[in-house]
Amino acid sequence: MDLQVTQIPLALYIHIPWCVKKCPYCDFNSHELPIDHQLSMYDDYVDALLTDARTQMMLTQGRQISSIFIGGGTPSLLPIDQYQRLFDGLRDCFEFMPDIEITMEANPGTLEHAPFAEYLKVGINRLSIGVQSFADDKLQALGRIHDPVQAISAIKAARAAGFNRVNVDLMHGLPQQTLTEALYDIQTAHNAGATHISWYQLTIEPNTVFYRNQPILPDEDNLADIEQAGQTLLEQLGYHNYEVSAWAGASDSPCRHNVNYWQFGDYLAIGAGAHGKVTISKKQGHKIDVIEPKISGLADASSHNEQVTKTGIYRFSKTRAPKDYTRYQVAPKTIWQAIDQDELVSEFMLNALRLHSGVSTYLFEARTGLSIDAIAGEIKGLVSSGLLEDTDDKIQPTPLGQRYLNQILRAFL
């Protein structure tokens, strides 16, 4: 089956890798700002982002960009004039859809850097504010640099400045958190004006301070109570649960950028440690130049071109350390990896089954190039175990399946 690349939406992820302080639970590619950092660091980084973008122009294969997500790290640390320069440069590289969604993550402790209206002016039309909790003791336990008052005023200021789409990130299952405290966080985010809530359960990730020094977390029963009561409250407040942790409010819609990930769409990626995914079509006959970087100061490094010419689906990732990322003269180093046929099914399902609306047969075939018949046996088995529903042209996790998503995913490994 040939993949029709022009039918696959294309997004762009931009990574801003710095934070004022590293949170003890965080395993993202985020680095504390160097104490002696200068404004020129942001200049160099935006230069590198634009160089990176130029090397990915041919990967669009004629498509417009449907959404951009600026994540981190703490993107609200980047000065507003750098955003202006970044977006001017990006518009020279890519065509944006007229109704493009552009989200920026913001941390309430860093928002003095620009009034919200300035972000609107450069084209950012959705904000995702990392609040985590509105309780002082929880924020301190999480090592956050903001307090509840700053968090509430950040959400209100964003709405007052004209942002109609404001996501608030909350975490639950926090150290010694009670049910009442978890529900208070949801209610407060709603009252402050959140149009979308991402409600994550705190997970203890390897390579974090919390992993080495585990805090006391609510036990399984308390966690289940928080989960159940939180979902009920979110529903009562008019939020619609479209993905495991994502809730869109009555006036808002699902995050287009994240839905594109879960629907196995394509995405370009620029920035330290950023990951992208692209489909290369035989019909398009594109030859993709992969420009390997020239490393400044290394005598033996030479620049050479390789070509990703085969039809297929590829993942790529960028140099992780911010210093190394800005060091390359030609383009930041990219590691390419083809997703082979065996991985395709599990990769697709890993993403798509997070969506409560399920997966259409059309989407599976259009994004993977495989026939749905290839997984007919697995689907039948999961339907008979009560984990999946198979109706018309769509498979969907049942409520039981939503609770045991990992079991469904194992069937496709």
Ligand X SMILES: C[S@@+](CC[C@H](N)C(=O)[O-])C[C@H]1O[C@@H](n2cnc3c(N)ncnc32)[C@H](O)[C@@H]1O
Please report, as ranges, the residues that interact with ligand SF4 according to CB under 6 A: 19, 22-23, 26, 28, 30, 72-74, 107, 130
Cα separation, 215 vs 200, whole angstroms: 17
Cα separation, 256 vs 253, whole angstroms: 8
State yes or no: residue 29 binds ligand X (CB under 6 A). Answer: no
| Cβ contact 249:195 at 8 Å | yes
State yes or no: residue 169 binds ligand X (CB under 6 A). Answer: yes
Of positions 55, 90, 103, 105, contacts ligand X by CB under 6 A = 105
Per CB under 6 A, the segment of 186-194, 198-206, 213-221, 311-319 that binds ligand X is 198-206
State yes or no: residue 25 binds ligand X (CB under 6 A). Answer: yes
Exposure letters 60-70 (e unless 16+ CB within 10 A, then b): bbebebbbbbb
In whole angstroms, how close is the CB of 171 to ligand SF4 at the nearest point?
9
Q: Pick between residue 273 and residue 369 the one whose CB is nearest to ligand SF4.
A: 273
Of positions 22, 24, 28, 346, contacts ligand X by CB under 6 A = 28
Q: Please choose, from the candidates 280, 250, 301, 242, the residue with its C-alpha nearest in 3D space to the C-alpha of residue 58.
A: 280
Q: Pick between residue 72 and residue 271 the one whose CB is nearest to ligand X.
A: 72
Pairing of the two strands 288-291 and 305-308 = antiparallel
State yes or no: residue 107 binds ligand X (CB under 6 A). Answer: yes
Cα dihedral sign, 367-373-378-382: positive
Q: Pick between residue 60 and residue 110 the one whose CB is nearest to ligand X.
A: 110
Cα separation, 318 vs 334, whole angstroms: 5
Cα separation, 41 vs 300, whole angstroms: 26
State yes or no: residue 202 binds ligand X (CB under 6 A). Answer: yes
Binding at 22: pick from ligand SF4, ligand X, none (beta carbon under 5-8 Å per type): ligand SF4
Tokens for 69, please give them. 């997500």
State yes or no: residue 74 binds ligand X (CB under 6 A). Answer: yes
Q: Which residues contact 313 (CB under 8 A, 6 or more apart)?
A: 3, 277, 278, 279, 280, 338, 339, 344, 368, 369
Q: Pick between residue 60 and residue 128 the one whose CB is nearest to ligand X.
A: 128
Q: Pick between residue 73 and residue 369 the one whose CB is nearest to ligand X.
A: 73
CA 19 to chain centroid, in Å, comes to 17
In whole angstroms, how close is the CB of 196 to ligand X at the nearest point?
13
Per CB under 6 A, the segment of 1-9, 23-31, 94-102, 390-398 that binds ligand X is 23-31
List interacting residues with ligand X (CB under 6 A): 25-26, 28, 71-72, 74, 105, 107, 130, 132, 169, 171, 200, 202-203, 205
